Structure 1
Amino acid sequence: MNDLLKHVLDAYGGLDRWHSHSRLSVKSATGGPFWPSKGIAENHGWGNVTIRTASEWTRIAPYGAPDRTMTFVPERVVIEDGDRQIVQELVDPRAAFKGYGPHSYWDASRQAYFNGYALWTYLATPFLLAQPGVELTEGAPSYEDGEVWRVLDVLLPETIASHSAAQRFYFGPDYLLRRQDYRLDVSGGTQVAHYVSDFVEVEGLRFPSKRRAYPRGEGGQPDRNQLLVWIRFDEFRFD
């Protein structure tokens, strides 16, 4: 295992402790100008999010209506009503974004796919980096916010749905995540810098409860005056 990742996993509470649980549930809220660019209301109230720890799976309820539930896996996303009848379904969802740009509107099933993989990625970090097929390389250190951040360049396998295959993770002196850079492939390749803060501890495992995403410009520098998305997590619990 990569030496930096070993330190990171220990700082987060350990891979064994993560694998001792099957599901993680949180309350989640989000907002920001990114959503209207997709034809979606800017602010979203608190919803219930559940992920599996061992595989990429996300469920959100309610979703779009009080009686609806969204279930995501990389190959398929489904929105169901209270009678478990399918309202919308998207098979091979990644292919459905072909030709979509930064201002292309999303329907409910495309939004569900994005929410599903994004929330799983955020809540399963850094433990997902220990999954088979993930390639890791430590890069040159970065200097930001008065700290030296160690950098992990990541290449995810095709089996993991995420913003992009190539991503960069920045860890502070305490080995907790500070920033995550990626390309938003489902939105025309927008370059994003995603900052995390306000860590909480749940049964010995640590999670950031606040996230803020900004566009990156020339040279990969983030424009922190131009917020894209904010996310809040609360009421973490393992099932």
Structure 2
Amino acid sequence: MTALLDLVLDAHGGLRRWQDARTVHAEGSIGGHLWSLRGQEGILATTDATVDVQQQRLVFGDFTGPGLRGLFTPDRVAVERPDGEVVAERNAPRAAFAGQGPDTPWDRLHALYFAGYALWNYLTAPYLLTRPGVVVEELEPWREADEDWRRLHVTFPETLATHSTEQVFYYDTAGLLRRHDYAPDVLGGTPAAHFSEHHVRASGLVFPTHRFVVPVQEDGRAASEPVLITIDLTDISVT
């Protein structure tokens, strides 16, 4: 690990606390232009998500209907009834995005896979960066909004479902996550900047409660619009 990653882990609760955590439960709302563009407006307007911290698994409660749950793992997504009856499922879900254009409509399983892996990544960071096969390297600082943010360039292994192999995380002087750049493969590789703010502490771990994603311009600066994704969390708990 780098000295910066050590600082970041401490700022977000400490490596030992992350290692002891089993689940993160978050409630709130996910919106933004992307969902209407893909024909899934409002699908996560009310979000109830439970993340398994130690393995890549996430469950959305009341997903697309009362009592239904949306289950994400890298190799399978499914919509199930409370008794386990499968309503819809897709194996190898990432392959279902092949050949899509910028406005190709999604079904609910496309939305489940994208939101599932993305939110799992977001709610397990920065512990995510300590997983086997993840390579981190500190870059030169970045000036943003009259602040100097330190940066980590991260290379992810193919075994991890994430936006793209290479990503960049930006941290303020306290070590808190403020920006995260990636180019989602399932969206055609268009660069995006994901901003994080309003951090809170829950059971010793620290999470941003407001996030928004906008396009990145050629100079690396973030555009002001369109706002592609918003994430607002009103309740977070850790077990």
TM-score (norm 2): 0.96
**Equivalent position amino acid for 1:91 in 2:** N
Secondary structure of the structure 2 residue equivalent to 1:217? coil
Match of 1:88 in 2: 88
**Equivalent position amino acid for 1:119 in 2:** L
**Equivalent position amino acid for 2:230 in 1:** W
Match of 1:138 in 2: 138
Match of 1:13 in 2: 13
Could you tell me whether the CA contact under 8 Å between 2:40 and 2:108 is conserved in 1? no
Match of 2:68 in 1: 68
Match of 2:155 in 1: 155
Residues 90-126 of structure 1: per-residue CA shift (max 9 Å, x gap):
1111111111122111111111001110110110111
Is 1:55 aligned with 2:55?
Answer: yes
**Equivalent position amino acid for 2:145 in 1:** D
Could you tell me how far 1:28 is from its partner in structure 2?
2.6
Inter-partner Cα distance in structure 1 for 2:11 and 2:105:
39
Inter-partner Cα distance in structure 1 for 2:45 and 2:109:
19
Could you tell me whether the CA contact under 8 Å between 1:103 and 1:187 is conserved in 2? no
Match of 2:201 in 1: 201
Residues 149-183 of structure 1: per-residue CA shift (max 9 Å, x gap):
00100011111101111100001111101100000
Inter-partner Cα distance in structure 2 for 1:5 and 1:27:
28
Could you tell me whether the CA contact under 8 Å between 1:210 and 1:231 is conserved in 2? yes
Match of 2:224 in 1: 224
Inter-partner Cα distance in structure 1 for 2:219 and 2:145:
18
RMSD value, Cα: 1.2
Residues 122-142 of structure 1: per-residue CA shift (max 9 Å, x gap):
101111001110011111110
Match of 2:165 in 1: 165
Match of 2:117 in 1: 117
Could you tell me whether the CA contact under 8 Å between 1:33 and 1:42 is conserved in 2? no
Residues 46-93 of structure 1: per-residue CA shift (max 9 Å, x gap):
221000111111000110011210111111111112332111111111
Inter-partner Cα distance in structure 1 for 2:41 and 2:58:
21
Inter-partner Cα distance in structure 1 for 2:94 and 2:210:
27
**Equivalent position amino acid for 1:96 in 2:** A
Could you tell me whether the CA contact under 8 Å between 1:101 and 1:186 is conserved in 2? no
Secondary structure of the structure 1 residue equivalent to 2:34? coil
**Alignment length, in residue pairs?**
239
**Equivalent position amino acid for 1:58 in 2:** L
Could you tell me how far 1:42 is from its partner in structure 2?
4.7
Could you tell me whether the CA contact under 8 Å between 1:104 and 1:187 is conserved in 2? no
Secondary structure of the structure 2 residue equivalent to 1:207? strand
Could you tell me whether the CA contact under 8 Å between 1:34 and 1:42 is conserved in 2? no
Percent identity over paired residues: 38
TM-score (norm 1): 0.96
Inter-partner Cα distance in structure 1 for 2:82 and 2:23:
22
Secondary structure of the structure 2 residue equivalent to 1:190? coil
